[in-house]
Amino acid sequence: MKISVIGAGAMGGATVEGLIKGQQFKNEDITVSDPSQAVVDKFAKMGVSVTTDNKLAADAADIVCVVVKPWLVEKVLTDIKPELDPKKQLLIVIAAGVSSESIKGWLGEKCPPLFLVIPNIAIAEMASMTFVVPVGASKEETQKVVDIFDEMGHTLITDEQHLASGTTLASCGIAYAMRYIRAAAEGGVELGFKADDAKKIVMQTMKGAVELLEASGLHPEAAIDLVTTPGGVTIKGLNEMEHAGFTSAVIRGLKAGLK
């Protein structure tokens, strides 16, 4: 099985890095296509096939993965349309806000079984939260795509209606989590730690919180109750954050991502 990734910018490049680290594909079965010679040179050094010709990349693949800015999707799909074979290929489009109706309109009868996919940049470290919307695909084809992205994190099959919500919660959400890390690390400096030490402390604390919730299955509030004592410093800190609108700010930020 061969896969081509057309577009190796931030998201596309992260996806390729995840594919290289995974076991689903041999390096020689991964093709990267990008107009930047510097980008293709980078991935050539990693042992994958590279090209600056999207048509060649599409023609060589069982799975064609288009990962470009939303406003470029139509152009890229139109260019590779002659090379697509709906009977032999699967098409993955990773581009926020591009509808399946538009894609099918651009490709017509040349549209292979389609998957709208939204991962986040942690896919490079095999830790993405990825949303998959199958369009005109069989259960077997869907499972094939889910297996690919499950190896690079966790995958949720959803419908197109909820894809934007998934994008703001997980793809934008990773930036929101990083902003908390930055804020907490700056607070750590004010508390007397060196900047690098403060960042390490916060990152490990977040990692511990996630692993605790995964292992216990507890609701976050139930886990919080385990570390808050009456009159203690934890509840005082939490209440100060809530007075400043912590929960409200997070929810409002997430909702703003849908606008």
What H or E segment, with its residue span, contains residue 116?
strand 114-118
Give 187's contacts (C-beta < 8 A, 6+ positions apart).
Answer: 198
> CATH classification of 3-158, choosing from 3.40.50.720, 3.90.650.10, 3.40.1410.10, 3.30.110.40?
3.40.50.720
155, 149 contact by CB (below 8 A): yes
pLDDT score of 259: 64
Domain limits of the chain? 3-158, 166-256
Q: pTM higher than 0.75, yes or no?
A: yes
What's domain 166-256's architecture? Orthogonal Bundle (1.10)
Find residue 6's DSSP bridge partners: 33, 66
List phi, psi (to 5°) of 208. -65, -40
Q: By C-alpha distance, which of 169, 123, 173, 167 is closest to 148?
A: 123
Annotated binding residues for NADPH, written as ranges, equal 54
Rg, C-alpha atoms of the chain:
21
Q: Do 3-158 and 166-256 agree at the fold level? A: no
Annotated binding residues for NADP(+), written as ranges, equal 6-11
Return d(Cα 23, Cα 18) in angstroms, integer: 10
Annotated binding residues, written as ranges, equal 6-11, 54
pLDDT in tens, the chain (259 residues): 999 999 999 999 999 999 999 999 999 999 999 999 999 999 999 999 999 999 999 998 999 999 999 999 999 999 999 999 999 999 999 999 999 999 999 999 999 999 999 999 999 999 999 999 999 999 999 999 999 999 999 999 999 999 999 999 999 999 999 999 999 999 999 999 999 999 999 999 999 999 999 999 999 999 999 999 999 999 999 999 999 999 999 999 999 988 6
